[in-house]
Amino acid sequence: MILGAVLVYTGIAVAGSMYWQLHLRNLAKIRGLLIGAFYQKLTTVATAQHENAAVTLMSTDVERVTQGLRVFHEAWANVVEVGIAVWFLQRELHTGSIAPIAIAIACFLVTLCVNKFTMPRQNRWMEALQARINRTVSVLSQIKSIKLLGLGEQSEKAFDALRVQELELANGFRMIMVFSFCIAFAPIFIVPVVCFAIYLSASPNSSGDNTFDVAKAFTSLSLVVVLTQPLSSLFQYVPLFAGAANCLQRIKDFIHSPSHRDRREQKSDVTRERGGPQDDASGAEKSTAVVDIVERNSAAGDVLSIYDGAFGWSENQWDLHNVNISIPKSQLTVITGPVASGKSTLCKAFLGEVPYVKGIVEISSGAGIGFCDQTPYLTNTTIYENIIGGSVVDNAWYKTVVRAVDLETDFGRLASGDRTLVGNNGDALSTGQKQRVTIARAVYARKPLIILDDVFSGMDNVTKAYIYEQLLRPEGLLRLLGTTVILACSDRDLCLAADLVVELAPGRPSVCIHPARRAESNCHAEGQRKVDGISKTTGSPDTIHDKTDQSAVSAATQEQPSKTPSDWATYGYFVRAVGSPNTALLIFLGGVFGTLYTFPSVWVNWWTTDPTARDSFYLGIYALLQATGLICWFLFTRHCLTTVVSRSGKKLHNSLLSTVMSASFSYLSIKDSGTIINRFSQDLQSVDGELPAALLNTVATAFIALAQVALVATASPWLTISYPSLVLAFYDTLRGITTVRAFGWSQQYVERNQQLLDASQRPNYLLQMIQQWLSLVLNMVVVVIVTFLVAFSLKLRSSLGLTAVALVNLMSLSQMLRSVVIGWTLMETSITAVARIKEFEQTTPRENDGKPEGAIVHGPVSGKIEYKNLTVSYGLSNENLALNNVNLVIVAGQKVGICGRSGSGKSSLIASLFRLLDVREGKLVIDANDISDYSVSTLRSSINAIPQDPLITSGTFREVVDPYESSSDAAIEEALRKVNLFEHVQNNGGLGGKVAPEGLSQGQKQLLSLARAILRRCRIIVLDEVTSSLDLETEQPIWGVLQEESRECTIIAIAHRLETIVGFDRVAVMDEGSIIEFGDPRILLKDTNSAFSKLRRTGKAH
């Protein structure tokens, strides 16, 4: 008997470990296959399609599929195990064995009914989760604009509403899980009672054997354990299978969704024959002059041609039509036109990225296209890696390119040079730097065709002219390479060296060729300045003053590994989030459940050893104990999966949100936003999903195991003894899929993702193997316990009933110990998310919200602003000052323009007004009050700001234009009319129509921001390059509207186009964080030695 026990339990331990090792290896392969296939599809998906769901699918759905498949083999094995157990039970209890079958069928049918609600409720939860993460990404990428506009409180309310909705929908899904768990445990509690009741009520069998003794009772109990445990597991697997099937279907739908279809054709060597008038996509006849132009250019050898083209982003709605263009080889083509005329759409059409196309697009370049998007696309790596991209390393060529885009000086001022991390979305760089890095990447790749979409809008005139000369003039780098360049812009000055100018009007283009410009350019080339001869009198562009403290970027943008989660302070932090009463109730319910799970076997021992026992009495108490255990299990799971999760999830989310919204801007500007996004996505998902499941399993199985160990011990007095990098790679690819495809780097990105996937698989697989090793060790401990128990029972003749109790509990003790280990391991893994949230909350520097007592709660009344010896910096360091000893007085009602080359401190001057920077010396006074006397919310909400990067979030037009909910619909419509957007809004559903930020041009976004500003009535208005993406025709009336709406207001306007501030009352010229000149612009222009006059002449000369 001893040998049999050793062999059986050793076999279970060894065979189980071997099985799990092989199974988990296959699961790792499946996980890798799904993520790899998903990423492969991601590189071919249609532009802007499924972007919102992509990361959720990868990070959540793939894991749920592997969780469901983890128990696949367990499911069919459980069915076999149940069948064998029923057969053995029939031999012991005869008709009593009918009960398990009937109860199993009933539970299975109930499970099927309950799980009909699983998929729809899970889908609603996933959609809410997806919406919250999307909003998080959107807000964090525009955190500076939110702070400038004083929208922190509104953003928090919107976030909180999304989180509450998500938790409510999640609770609906979790209640299905609670019922499923209760149904799964029902056979464990119900089957023994029913079996014993049927057996005792039945008449004696033919042999007259109907006794209910220790042997009969505990043999039956052991068989019931063998029967009900697999049944319980089987019913728990049903929701896992349903969830996995649902997630797998979502992944399948994504993989089978329409792929990006490149409708371009490779140009043939034979010129296409085209004769006579032909109809365009709209049915109109082409102009004969246009046909002649197209045919003439085709004969000359063009790299790209469009015949009868029509392009749109939605079906049957053409943004461009009647397009007939040929792009000449090795020449510069400039696409220009007003706002929303289709410049970016035409660029995307050249790339084959527009979803709806009519006509023919031919291209001769098969080696990829260098592309710079209007919104710079940078991955969260170093500047050097972003420039190299997928190209071959050539250091000599790299230095030439860096010099041509004027990045050398920037590298000299960065602590890590070109090895500085750019941060998520390039947040560690200024707008001008980001644009120059993307230009450098396109030039470095040496593609035969380069498309530049509005890449000069964030640069001052001097920097813009310098790069234009170095790259696009007849002796520029790209001209010497024979590169074909297509440049889309609103600045007509950039047409100077163009060989072909494409002028767009809303709806259709007209092609104009200016052959005289080529000769003009050649004449100009003879006298153009060389690279070394460019005058830079006021410092290099985009210097340290207009960006973050980048000396810290390299370290700050890399997330450091969290400390080990064994720190009990982390558990204390989680308990405080849950609440002490909820935690105490959880432990109490877990303890009661563990007791009621194991104590009934003791009651059966008392029952069978009592010679005077009344079966009805003992059976009634036994039934009561089992029913109470099942009820306690329901209360325990419901409390853990709904109350605990909701309370902790909301509390931790609020802590994160409050920390981000109150964090200092200097911290947020250098902190990798990808890390913050991971706090809101991956870590909160762990808190909502993995942590409660681990907590439930750990607490329940721990109490059960403790109770079972205690019962086993009574038999004898001697027996008393790592993922975010992969997520960020998906984010990066999603943002720049158009750029990746244009360069022809899709396969390289797939290979790079495979390397990241391999890196993420290693710790995941090793963790599973460590768990299996611990399970094997625990199972071998059980072997030792069984051996000693059986040996002592045989030798010492101890109580037969207690020995039976011990053996029955030993049958599931190994499983419970294994569950405790797995649950505790998952707890340790999941609690790391809480540790990161705790660390983020406690280490993030906060903004000083004014004086604790007596803070001014009303905004400025007159609008007078005084800078008094003001010195500010990013962060706590006194190095790399943003402003240095600035003195400036702006009289109430004055219009003051701020100018200077990029990096001179213009944006820092504005940021200090909103208390975004840390004051080192001096003070800033508004209406005779130091700004530190104002609360942050009061100060920012009382200044009307229009940032350079428009804040456009998802929502209705009403919510975007009036986020403060302070204006009537009539006022909103009037504001939209003033910025010429009313017709566009009406055509897209009116004020209640949904805004699609990706469907708006940069100019339209700026116009929406202007409409929002018109609705606010503030004494101070701050304008930061608000018309940089507008053409001159649109810009002039907009400035007229601003002047009309702010007659009595104080206006501070940053401008690169100096013509826009010539009519202001005063201008301030900045250089290296100081004001070097302040006065009337008209007087300053007359003084040839003034800095303002020189700056304007320098820009014009270039």
pLDDT digits (tens, 9 = 90+) for 987-1005: 888 888 888 776 677 778 8
- The answer, yes or no, to whether residue 1026 has pLDDT greater than 50, is yes
Both tokens of residue 932?
A: 């530190």
Which spans in 642-723 are helix H?
Answer: 645-662, 665-670, 673-678, 684-685, 691-713
**Domain 282-317+319-506 in the same topology as domain 2-45+52-258+558-843:** no
Give the residue extent of every domain in the chain. 2-45+52-258+558-843, 282-317+319-506, 848-942+1052-1102
The CB-side HSE value for 708 (13 A sphere, CA atoms) comes to 23
Whether domain 282-317+319-506 has CATH 3.40.50.300: the reply is: yes
pLDDT of residue 804: 57
The CATH number of 2-45+52-258+558-843 is which of 1.20.1560.10, 3.90.420.10, 3.40.50.2000, 3.30.70.100? 1.20.1560.10
- The answer, yes or no, to whether residue 515 has pLDDT greater than 50, is no
Residues 6+ apart with CB under 8 A from 984: 340, 1004
* pLDDT-wise least confident of 567-581, 725-739, 881-895: 725-739
pLDDT of residue 526: 36
- The answer, yes or no, to whether residue 615 has pLDDT greater than 50, is yes
Under 8 Å between Cβ of 556 and 670: yes
Average predicted confidence (pLDDT) for the chain:
75
- The answer, yes or no, to whether residue 1040 has pLDDT greater than 70, is yes
* pLDDT-wise least confident of 437-451, 607-621, 1084-1098: 607-621
Beta bridge partners of 1050: 1020
Both tokens of residue 688?
A: 């909502």
Per-residue pLDDT tens digits for 135-184: 777 777 777 778 777 787 888 888 888 888 888 888 888 888 888 888 87
- The answer, yes or no, to whether residue 962 has pLDDT greater than 50, is yes
Both tokens of residue 895?
A: 């219009």
pLDDT of residue 669: 65
CA 955, 960, 964: angle at the middle one, nearest 5?
A: 115
Under 8 Å between Cβ of 61 and 129: no
Give whichever of 397-401, 651-655, 855-859, 1028-1032 has the largest mean pLDDT. Answer: 397-401
Q: Residues 849-854: what's their mean pLDDT? A: 52
Q: Residues 303-312: what's their mean pLDDT? A: 86
Q: Which is nearest to 1006 in space by CA: 1039, 1021, 989, 1028?
A: 1028
Q: Which CATH superfamily is domain 848-942+1052-1102 in?
A: P-loop containing nucleotide triphosphate hydrolases (3.40.50.300)
| Ramachandran quadrant class, 50 (left: phi over 0; alpha: psi -120 to 50; beta: rest) | left
Both tokens of residue 185?
A: 């445990």
pLDDT of residue 1013: 86
Q: Are strands 865-873 and 1066-1071 parallel, antiparallel or unpaired?
A: unpaired
The angle that helices 800-843 and 568-578 make with each other, rounded to 10 degrees, is: 90
pLDDT band at 452 (very low <50, low <70, confident <90, very high): very high
pLDDT band at 291 (very low <50, low <70, confident <90, very high): very low
Per-residue pLDDT tens digits for 815-834: 666 666 666 766 776 777 78
Query: In whole angstroms, what is the distance from residue 111 CA to residue 183 CA?
Result: 7
Quick one: which H or E segment has residue 746? helix 746-796
Q: Residues 571-599: what's their mean pLDDT? A: 87
* pLDDT-wise least confident of 797-801, 874-878, 1080-1084: 797-801
pLDDT of residue 700: 76
Under 8 Å between Cβ of 1014 and 1045: yes
Both tokens of residue 168?
A: 């409510």
- Percentage of the chain modeled with pLDDT above 90: 8
pLDDT band at 852 (very low <50, low <70, confident <90, very high): very low
Per-residue pLDDT tens digits for 680-695: 777 777 788 777 777 7
What is the torsion angle, in degrees rounded to the nearest 10, for the CA atoms of residue 210, residue 215, residue 221 and residue 224?
-70
Per-residue pLDDT tens digits for 455-485: 888 777 777 888 888 998 888 899 888 899 9
Beta bridge partners of 886: 870
Query: In whole angstroms, what is the distance from residue 871 CA to residue 568 CA?
Result: 43
pLDDT of residue 704: 66
Per-residue pLDDT tens digits for 631-679: 998 999 899 888 988 898 889 888 888 888 888 776 776 666 667 777 7
User: Which of helix, strand or coil describes residue 950?
Assistant: coil
**Furthest-apart CA pair in the chain: how many Å?**
124
Per-residue pLDDT tens digits for 43-53: 777 665 545 45
pLDDT of residue 126: 77
Quick one: which H or E segment has residue 1068? strand 1066-1071
Q: Is pLDDT larger for residue 529 or for residue 569?
A: 569
- The answer, yes or no, to whether residue 208 has pLDDT greater than 50, is no
pLDDT of residue 287: 37
Residues 6+ apart with CB under 8 A from 976: 957, 961, 982, 985, 1011
pLDDT of residue 796: 53
- The answer, yes or no, to whether residue 450 has pLDDT greater than 80, is yes
pLDDT of residue 80: 82
Per-residue pLDDT tens digits for 906-929: 888 888 888 888 788 899 999 888
Per-residue pLDDT tens digits for 744-768: 777 777 777 777 777 777 777 777 7
* pLDDT-wise least confident of 115-124, 794-803, 856-865: 794-803
Q: Residues 412-439: what's their mean pLDDT? A: 77
Q: H helices then E strands: how many in the chain?
A: 40, 22
pLDDT of residue 414: 66
